Structures are given as C-alpha cells and as structure tokens.
Structure 1
Amino acid sequence: MRAVRVAYGIDELYRIGLLETFNGKDFFFAPVGIDEGATITQKLRLISEGCSLLRALGAPVKVGILSGGRREDLGRSESVDKSIAEGELITSIARETETPDVTHYYILIENALRSDASLIIAPDGVSGNLIYRTLVHLGGGRSHGAVYCGLKDVIVDTSRAAPVGEYTGAIALAAAVAQASKFTGPS
C-alpha cells in the first residue's frame, strides 16, 4: 500500500472489497484496512466511490451503513453513541448526495445482507477488517480482492493472509473494473 501511495502521490487510499457470504451472496464492503475510513469524510468518499463503481459495473446501488450498536443501545457507551450518531449523519448525507437508497442498519449487518445491500460501510477500518476476517477466515465466505478507487489505473489487491481463491477472484474483479472503466472513465 505504501508503494501505491508513493507511485500515485496520494496520502489516503480508498479500497472497496468484494466479499461473498458462505451462501453465495456478493456485496461490496469498506473500509477494509485498519487505517481506512476513520473519519466521516473518508466514509462519505468510500460511499461515493462505491456507488460509482456499482453504477459502472451495472449493479444495483443499495447502501447499508453500519454503526457500533442498535438504536436502543444509545446511552450505554459514549463510543457507541458517537458511532450511531455518525451512522445517522452519514446516512442522511449519502441520501442527499449519492442515492436515496441508503439505510442505517446500526450493528445489524445481517439485516443489511438480507435486504440485498450492494455496498456495506463499516463503522471504521478496524471493524471492517474484523468483519472481513470473520467472514473469510472463519465463516466460510470468500473475498474477491479490494479495488483501489480514484486512481487512473485499475489496481485490485488481496489480503496478505488470503486463501488461494482470493487471487483468482481479484484478477476477475480487476478485469471487470477495467472493462467497465473503458466505458465510464476512471472514478
């Protein structure tokens, strides 16, 4: 990742992973790195990039926002309260700027998947990385790599601990994004 930052002269990276549940449900997911998606602005950029990616690929745009607790958990913890408030704010802004089909699912990622969210945004990069690892390394799911968004070139990376199938999925994802980029231009 450091090499990408240096080569492109950028400070922040915006990666969006393509994940698949154990029962074959695909969805885009971000942030995936522990140092990504820490601010509201960064999460909104991930939503914008993700919506652009979905549109370029001809996929439905349905965004699910996650936060650190359920609505009824308000008042139990300052960090949970802050996460829920951020989730509400991000949902409101994304509805105005990206798509009306944005829902705050609180901590209930299972509801986001049941409602066919095509892009799910975790509360932060640490949570996102934990969700990725739980799904892929423990839950029988798969990853097909993570697209670096906002670059002039198509770059898709994989986890250092990726199972072999993630490499072939990443190549297929890169090919699909490259083909879509021919018609839409870089994001």
Structure 2
Amino acid sequence: MFFRKLESDLRDGPRVCVAVAGAAGEEIFSSLRLSEKLGITEALLVGEKKTAMEGADRAGMECFSILEAEGDEAAAEKAVEAVRDGTADILMKGRVSTAVLLKAVLSDKTVFSRGKLLSHLAVLEAPDGHILGITDGGMNISPDVDQKRVILESAVEAFRALGISLPKVAVLAAMEKENPKIPESIDAGKLSRLQDSGEISDCIVEGPMALDLAVTPEACRLKNYKGKIQGDANILLAPDISAGNILAKSLVHLGGWRGGGLVVGAGRPIVLLSRSDTAEEKYNSILLAIALYRKPQPLSSSLISQHPI
C-alpha cells in the first residue's frame, strides 16, 4: 500500500519539525503522535498554550514545543515565521481558517514565495494500493487556462517527487471532444497541445477527457479511443473547484479510498485539510509533505503502483 510504503521510505533521516498554526483538535494531535512514533517529526505547536499542552498530553506526544499565540492571525503569522527563520521545516493548518493561514503564507516573501499560484493537491490511495492525484479541489474556484497550466505543473512536480518520472495528466471535461459551448473542453485541448509542443514538459497531458477514459482502459477500448492516456492517468485536473472537491470526496466517502492533501506551489509543502478530516488523513498528509520536503532524496522505486480504477 502506498502510504505504508511511504512510511518505510521516510524512516531514515532526521526528524522534520512541523509548525502547526492553531494547535487544537484531537485529530491534529493524534496525527502528530503517529508521525512522532515513526521517528520522522517533532512538532512546534503554535496557539493557546493551555489547549496545546492538554491536547499533546492526551495524545501522548513527547517531541514537541509550544509557541504561544493569541488568536488565529497571530498563530498563523508565528507559524509561518517559524518556518521562515528555520525553527520549523514545514507548515500545517490546525484550527485556523484557511484564509487566515494563506494570508500569512502569501505575505512571506522568502521561504514560501515562488511567485506561483498556490493550488491544492489530493493524493488518494485506492483499496488495491494504487494512487491518484486530484487537483484543484480546494483553492482556485474557477481557474482560467493559464492558471490551470500552473496547477497542472505543480501537481506534476509533486508526483515526480513521489517517484513517477513522467506523470500522465488527464484534463477532465464531460466528453473527449472540444466544444465551444463547454469552455473547460477548450482549455483542456489547449493544455494538451502545449504538452505536444514541448511548452509543458516532464509529463503527458491529454484533454479533454471524460472521467471513464482517464481511469478505465476498458472504456477506451469500447469507445475506440486512441489518445495518449489509455485509462491510466496519474493525475486528474478538474475543471473547477467544485468538480475537484466532489470527485475527491466521492472516492473517499463512497469508494473507500484513503489519502491526504497539500497546498503546492509554495516554497514548502503546506499540510492543509478540512477540520472534518480524520487523524489518518492528516497523518497521510504529513507523510506527503515530508516526502516533498525531502524530494532531493530519491524515494523507493517500488513506491508507486499504477493501475486503473
């Protein structure tokens, strides 16, 4: 299984310090305890001191320190500052709002600043162990084609760091033909042609693609589809935030998939999920963030299995 293999791959090396903006909530502390037990993290808990101490004690955490901050904005700013000054290595959203955290991130012009559009990437593991990336179901509401290109390239960069040297990206629409009445199909065609021309590199891009063609080889056979992707996409680029969000949550809540989520495009990966996500999902997200943080170190060649849904 992907996340269990990732655990094994990350065991070696020094602990990574995770700065938690708004350290509160049982699932936050439980996820940090899991990564602490694996020997890969220590935590900087930023927020109300009493809440952080009680939560850490209940979870049985041992490798942590507390940085007191009053209010969400102060917690977000101090957590970002901790990464900036080297006290911490990666950033994790706790019980602060996404808007408040991202405001602090975007105000930083050093560690987090790459001049790129930030986007959300869900990395989901199927019951049979293969993984699928879905982007962007958490950040950009209705991206234009230029923004979709940046979102696509950030997801490709992440998947290459996870061990897929040439990720296959399916740009989703309702059908596999461009239709001027369906703008996302036109965007998809443009992105596919940018890859054909070499302007987008290090990946294979196909679009527009209906979902069945992107993930099911049998659908490609039945439709006599001859595209670059034959039901074996690694990454699904959704047309908008609603489609991406619904798709990812459908796989998790209806299909029994498991996974994690990150903000990519910044200078450091940012662990960012919903407050309703489980401790396991938060833990998986920490694993992903550490893998991307350590990306100069190659991951196991057996880490990624690629099979259709």
TM-score computed with the length of structure 1 as normaliser:
0.80
1:59 correspondence with 2:173? no
- CA distance in 2: counterparts of 1:166 and 1:69, whole angstroms: 32
Task: Find 1:24's aligned residue among 116, 124, 129.
Answer: 129
Shift of residue 166, structure 1, vs aligned partner: 0.7
Letter in structure 1 aligned against 2:279: V
For residue 143 of structure 1, the aligned residue among 259, 262, 272 is: 259
Structure 1 residues 50-91: Cα deviation after superposition (integer angstroms, max 9, x where no partner) = 2222223331321111113343x958xx3xx32222211121
Alpha-carbon spacing, 1:107–1:140, altered in 2? closer, same or farther (3 Å): same
CA contact under 8 A between 1:36 and 1:125: conserved in structure 2? yes
Q: Deviations over 1:149-175 (max 9, x none)?
A: 222222122223323321121121112
Specify which structure has the bigger relative contact order, considering alpha-carbon pairs within 8 angstroms and separated by 6 or more residues: 1
Aligned pair in 2 of structure 1 residues 14, 176: CA closer, same or farther (>3 Å)? same
Distance (Å, rounded) in 1 between the aligned partners of 2:155 and 2:142: 13
Q: How does 1:123-138 map to 2 (within 5 A)?
A: 123-138=239-254
User: What's 2:104 paired with?
Assistant: 7
* Letter in structure 2 aligned against 1:62: K
Task: State, as a whole percentage, how many aligned pairs show the same letter.
Answer: 24
Unaligned runs of 5+ in 1: none
Q: Which runs of 4+ in 1 moved over 3 A?
A: 34-37
In 2 relative to 1, CA 37–30 (structure 1 residues): closer, same or farther, beyond 3 Å?
farther
| Superposition deviation, residue 111 in structure 1 | 2.8
Code of the aligned partner of 1:15: H
Structure 2, gaps ≥5 residues long = 1-97, 108-115, 217-230, 299-309
SS of the residue corresponding to residue 173 of structure 1 reads helix
> What TM-score comes out, normalization by structure 2 length?
0.51
Distance 1:44 1:175, change over 3 A: same
- Identify the residue that residue 173 of structure 1 maps to in structure 2: 288
Per residue, is there more helix in 1 or in 2? 1
Q: Which has the larger radius of gyration?
A: 2
Question: Against the structure 1 CA distance between its residues 141 and 57, is the aligned structure 2 distance closer, same or farther, given a 3 Å change threshold?
Answer: closer
Partner letter of residue 59 of structure 1? I
- CA offsets, 1:17-71, max 9 Å, x none? 1112343320221011264452111110011112222223331321111113343
